[in-house]
Chains A and B, each alone.
Chain A
């Protein structure tokens, strides 16, 4: 049973796809900014997982390296994004993404 459960690259890729889809759908259907934010993180990490998988599979360290870049970008994004969210929370009660449409053309 355990032996049958040999993890191949496909498993990782499927997991990454599932995670990405959850993230994407969450981003589209949820109104809470924080949740949407976490969805974005989910998507980013799904992409990271893919990178790592292929890095191992193709024996290329480049993929690993890119993950680090992604992590740094994600961290920066978290910092900026959370700051914005906090700012929005301070300005108004609660925050749904739909309330913030000042950039409407």
Chain B
């Protein structure tokens, strides 16, 4: 088979997990545990293998892009959309890590979801999730991408509210979907505008056509697309769904944060970069929203007590970096960070999952500590990923983040560069805080004697117990969850350890993909054909680049140093967080996520609800329907009045006849006369 023939089969990559999803949805229960999990994982593995084949095939074709239409999806007049797939360096980069990281997360979930009543269903959703993401990145036009885009939204709903018996999970799933829909609104309008101006939604046409657009049009398209990206990638102000999405099982969080979903926004902006390039001002917006979100989310993560919430806000913050990079035109750097982030964030989430799993579902880092002794592998992996995200060389995160910041600097965007650099210190600080509170310091997880001990299989809290229904998420300001373990924690089973270790290893060496030396920028060169025509950002000199790197390392070290200073010994009193106390009022603002969520909730529940109530009760019921019934009543009352005429006396009627006849006669006489 020639390379092009192989690339024609690129649709197999989403088809494999999609097939798994269908099979598991229909027969998941019959297949049972753990076969259902292995089926899902195996199909993801196959998809990964096929992605590798696709990658190899793509290297052999010139130009580096291959589009293949499966069938005509939506033909309507001059509007025609094919169900078509595009294999180019950008999409292939994405499918490689989506399937790779995705397969590992699937593998991990086999252990994590052990014993769940809806085990098969879980893997069906996970497979569907991966399939949607693959459709999203592989589509060769906006509408196919949108199909995957919405599919991802659907799966996030299903998976976040997977434990829908918990009210908080159900609400979080709905919130995720609805917030995403606000972004989709922008995406849809952008598609309309693109079609109105270019007559096609194909990516090929876009590349040629974007240059010819009026600046205002290009800006409008770019900003509308960005609205979509803001929703999906949880940027301010549509970030509110992501922290709540922690209600889902931890593998889902890993999948959402690392491999699928949130990187979709980054992908979309990178894919649609011709519009952003044509606009210019839209890119400014992207850069500033990204930088602002990076800083904003970083501050929130500082004081969160929940192990997963810290990671959630850290994702929001890291995504901010990616948009910052996209905004300054450093597309390659953004993609690089996406991939590296997939590695270390997956490690962190799966590690966090292991910590929670081995630990009676407790997610409160204030009642952990010293775990490295009991969960050595998990701890090692977590620590590697921590150093990676904090930007310590030579781990993956350093190379990526350094490149993003350097590109921002050399693109003369000093404002966003400065914000990004400050946020880098915050990243190191909150991650160091989390690592120290979980794995180092004093051991705070033992239940006090005479408390309410949870025995050996503590992780299997009954699914209808009040404790379980309340949900594990610890919000800021809540008192620490009481430690519940009477025994020592244990390491998790191998199916859970192996993926974490593999991902950690990738976090170590991932940087090799794109070292900042001319010949070693593999990823950059690989992606070049996609971002053709985008002006390259060149370092002014090696020396200034080195100085920038030093600065960013310094910021990382600074953050870690502050954390160590505060948390060296862990927490003497779980109820008192030294960082929070030192921050004072700011700590409260950070803890409540700048009150964004609360304000939105209050606006929706207050004026929003009142308006809807008024519309329903006041206008619809009393107004319109009232008018309708009013007419009916009027008719009834008029009839009531008129019925008195019907006296029932024959002579009255006869009199009426006589008068009527006389009147008629007079009328005729006078009219005739």
Contact = CB atoms under 8 A, between A and B. Distances in A.
Touching chains A and B, CB distance < 8 Å: yes
B646 interface: yes
A27 interface: yes
B654 A28 contact: yes
Interface in B633-664: 642-651, 654-655, 658
A2 interface: no
Given A24-B658, A28-B654, A28-B655, A97 B643 contact: no
B669 to A, nearest CB: 15
A103 B651 contact: no
A98 interface: yes
A104 interface: yes
Contacts of A91: none
A100 interface: yes
Contact of B647 (A27, A31, A104): A104
Contacts of B648: 100-105
Contacts of A103: 646, 648
Given A28-B654, A100-B650, A101-B647, 15 more contacts: A24-B654, A27-B651, A27-B654, A28-B651, A28-B658, A29-B651, A36-B650, A97-B649, A100-B648, A101-B648, A103-B646, A105-B643, A105-B644, A105-B645, A105-B647
Interface in A62-99: 97-98
Interface string A44-65: 0000000000000000000000
* Shortest beta-carbon contacts, A-B, top 3: A101-B648, A105-B646, A104-B648
18 contacts: A24-B658, A28-B651, A28-B658, A29-B651, A31-B651, A36-B650, A36-B651, A97-B649, A97-B650, A97-B651, A100-B648, A100-B650, A101-B647, A104-B646, A105-B642, A105-B644, A105-B645, A105-B646
Contacts of B645: 105
Interface size class of A (residues with CB under 8 A): 10 to 19
Nearest to A33: B650
Interface in B113-150: none
Interface in B607-640: none
Contacts of A31: 651
Interface in B254-285: none
B636 to A, nearest CB: 13
A98 B643 contact: no
Contacts of A28: 651, 654-655, 658
Contact of B649 (A24, A27, A29, A98): A98
A31 B646 CA distance: 18
Contacts of A27: 651, 654
Nearest to B658: A24
A98 B651 contact: yes
A21 to B, nearest CB: 10
Contacts of B646: 103-105
A100 B648 CA distance: 7
A41 B152 CA distance: 90
A76 to B, nearest CB: 19
A28 B658 CA distance: 9
Contacts of A29: 651
Contacts of B655: 28
B665 to A, nearest CB: 12
Contacts of B650: 36, 97, 100
A28 B662 CA distance: 15
Nearest to B661: A24
Contacts of B643: 105
Interface in A15-31: 24, 27-29, 31
Interface in B183-212: none
A84 to B, nearest CB: 11
A98 B647 CA distance: 10
A31 B655 CA distance: 13
Contacts of A102: 648
Contacts of B642: 105
B476 to A, nearest CB: 74
Nearest to B645: A105
Interface in B28-57: none
A36 B655 CA distance: 13
A98 B655 CA distance: 14
Contacts of B649: 97-98, 101
A25 to B, nearest CB: 9
A42 to B, nearest CB: 13
Contacts of A97: 649-651
Contacts of B644: 105
Nearest to B639: A105
B647 to A, nearest CB: 6
Contacts of B647: 101, 104-105
Nearest to A29: B651
A31 B642 CA distance: 25
B376 to A, nearest CB: 96
A36 to B, nearest CB: 7
A1 to B, nearest CB: 36
Interface in B263-315: none
A27 B654 CA distance: 8
Contacts of A36: 650-651
Interface string B139-181: 0000000000000000000000000000000000000000000
A22 B426 CA distance: 113
A27 B653 CA distance: 11
A105 B645 CA distance: 8
A78 to B, nearest CB: 17
